Amino acid sequence: MGELKLMKGNEAIAEAAIRAGVDAYFGYPITPQSEVIEYLMAEQPEERTGMVVLQAESELAAINMVYGAAAAGKKVFTSSSSPGISLYQEGISYIAGAELPCVIANVVRGGPGLGTIQPSQADYFQSTKGGGHGDYKLYVLAPASVQEMADFIQLGFDIAYKYRNPVMIQSDGMIGQMMEKVELADQRPRWTDEEIKQMHDSWAAFGKGDHRERNIITSLDLDSAKQEKHNHHLQAKYRRMEEEEVLFEEINCEDAEYLIVAYGSSARISMKSIDLARAKGIKAGLFRPITLYPFPMKQLNAYVGKVKGILSVEMSAGQLIEDIKLAVECNVPVKHFGRYGGMIHSPEEVLTALENLIKGE
């Protein structure tokens, strides 16, 4: 058993990054996730593992530092919150286009604009449907606990390198700021230059030896036919992710007549609502997507014919519900319940919304 600690989600993700053998973190402070860079600076990972931590002059610079380090084959992590992630989008599109692996955490806050500093899930579309320009996908993980904040760092890098694709950890101010018990993984050594050469010599830009052609990191191809071919290659990669990398959790779903579908903080709150519903004799279950992209389409579709209704519970004004409807192909009534702009729904509010769904309201 690894070391047990009481940590904030933001601290856990930072500590997990050090322990995962990450080479560099670049970021810019923004509430409610500044604890990530504060923790890293205080921990002096340069001393612990040789990991580089740098506070950039802006989010634009931070994401491009990520691009540079990832291009060199280095394991690189960054974090920000909604307005900062909006500034990241250009860089993320380039990273996806150039097929660079990296892990990006978004500790979502209420919007639009400067919004609030309270928790929200209103960046679902941004994370799962593009965000930046062009046809690309991020692998999006939604932690629902401090433990998952820590665990998804290593999982994120595994996927990022398997597919050479950016990974987004979409958390929120609640998971970021709350403390829970977390079991920390043991320290992994950082890759040596020799290991990086062995693993990534076919693509990374760390200096061309005589044994190979030069490696070029780019998202540009002025020849549209070639660019289309590149897009086909990307799409094939995304289809493979959809087949092989879907993650989800089912709680009390076996005999459920009604389903709540929720992720992250909303899933945690809804777990309580399910208990309250069961205490009232309502056969309710919780279906929690862990990967927001790829969304568990088939797995949710399996409930068609089994459940009478689905409630989409999200701290956003109807974003998750679109994927739920696509999954069940309009064969099950789906209703939305959510609070916005930094408001968090209570377990009782969710229960009321579920009861309204049952009543057909």
Partner 1 sequence: MTEEIIIAGFGGQGVLSMGKILAYSGIMQNQEVSWMPSYGPEMRGGTANVTVIVSDDRISSPVLNFYDTAIILNQQSMDKFEKTVKPGGLLLYDPNGIIHHPQRKDIKIFKIEAAKLSAEMGNTKIFNMVVLGAYLKLKPIVKLENVIRGLKKSIPERYHKLIPMNESALTKGMENPVEVFLN
Partner 2 sequence: MMDIKDIVKEENLVYTKTKLMTDNILSYCPGCGHGTAHRIVMEVIDELGLQSQTVGIAPVGCSVLAYDFMNIDMIQAAHGRAPAVATGVKRTMPDKYVFTYQGDGDLAAIGTAETIHVCNRGENITMIFINNGIYGMTGGQMAPTTLEGMKTSTSPYGRDLKSMGNPLKITELIAQLPGTYYVTRQAVHTPAAVRKTKKAVFKAFEVQKEKKGISFIEIVSNCNSGWKMSPVKSNEWMVEHMFPFYPMGDIKVDGELVKSNKAEVKS
Binding mask 225-244 for partner 1 (x = CB under 8 A): --------------------
Tell me the sheet residues that pair with 52.
24
By CB under 8 A, the residues from 71 to 110 that bind partner 2 are 71-72, 74, 76, 90-91, 94, 98
Task: Tell me, residue by residue from 171 to 210, as one string, x for binding to partner 1 by CB under 8 A and - for no binding.
Answer: ---x--xxxxx-----------------------------
| Candidates 17-25, 201-209, 299-307, 343-351; binding stretch for partner 1 (CB under 8 A) | 343-351
Residue 56 C-beta: closest distance to partner 1, Å = 25
Is 210 a binding residue for partner 2 by CB under 8 A? The answer is yes
Q: Which of 271, 292, 300, 354 binds partner 1 (CB under 8 A)?
A: 271
CB of 125 to partner 1, least distance (A): 24
Size of the site for partner 2 (CB under 8 A): 42
One residue of 54, 87, 178, 185 binding partner 2 per CB under 8 A: 54
Q: Of the listed pieces 50-58, 108-116, 242-250, 258-266, which binds partner 2 according to CB under 8 A?
A: 50-58
Q: Tell me the residue length of the chain.
A: 361
Burial class (CB in 10 A: 0-12, 13-18, 19+), 230: middle
Copy the structure tokens of residue 354: 């579920």
- Burial (CB < 10 A; 0-12, 13-18, 19+), residue 175, is buried
343 binds, among partner 1, partner 2, none (CB under 5 to 8 A by kind): none
Contact positions with partner 2 (CB under 8 A) in 329-358: none
Kindly give, in sequence order, each residue whose CB lies less than 8 Å from that of residue 138, ignoring residues fewer than 6 positions away: 92, 96, 104, 127, 128, 131, 165, 166, 167, 168, 293
Rounded to whole angstroms, what are the CA distances from 344 to 316, 341, 350?
A: 10, 9, 11
Cα torsion 118, 121, 125, 127 to 10°: value is 80
Please tell me the distance from the alpha carbon of residue 15 to that of residue 20, in angstroms, as a whole number: 9
Q: Which one of 17-25, 126-134, 160-168, 264-272 is the stretch in contact with partner 1 (CB under 8 A)?
A: 264-272
Instruction: Tell me which H or E stretch contains 286.
Output: strand 284-289
Binder of residue 254, out of partner 2, partner 1, none (CB less than 5 to 8 A by kind): none
**Residue 244 CB neighbour total at 10 angstroms:** 11
Planar angle of CA 124, 119, 84, nearest 5 degrees = 65
Name the CA radius of gyration of the chain, rounded: 21
Binding partner 2 (rule: CB under 8 A), the pick from 220, 225, 279, 330 is: 220
- For residues 164 and 203, the answer to whether their CB atoms sit within 8 Å is yes
Q: Binding residue for partner 2 (CB under 8 A) from 192, 214, 224, 255? A: 214
The structure tokens 């909604």 sit at: 82
State the nearest-atom distance from the C-beta of 294 to partner 1, in Å: 26
- CB-wise, 113 or 209, nearer to partner 2? 209
Q: Which does 237 bind (CB under 5 to 8 A by kind): partner 2, partner 1, none?
A: none
Site for partner 1 in 90-119 (CB under 8 A): 116-118
Q: Residues touching partner 1: how many (CB under 8 A)?
A: 25
Question: Which position among 29, 31, 41, 60 is part of the footprint of partner 2 (CB under 8 A)?
Answer: 60
Question: Could you say which of 5, 31, 43, 68 contacts partner 2 (CB under 8 A)?
Answer: 68
**Cis peptide bond upstream of 294, omega within 30:** yes
Beta-carbon count within 10 A of 43 CB: 17
- How buried is 336 (Cβ within 10 angstroms: 0-12 exposed, 13-18 middle, 19+ buried)? buried
Give residues in contact with partner 2 (CB under 8 A).
Answer: 23-24, 26, 52, 54, 56-58, 60-62, 64-72, 74, 76, 90-91, 94, 98, 193, 204-210, 214-220, 222
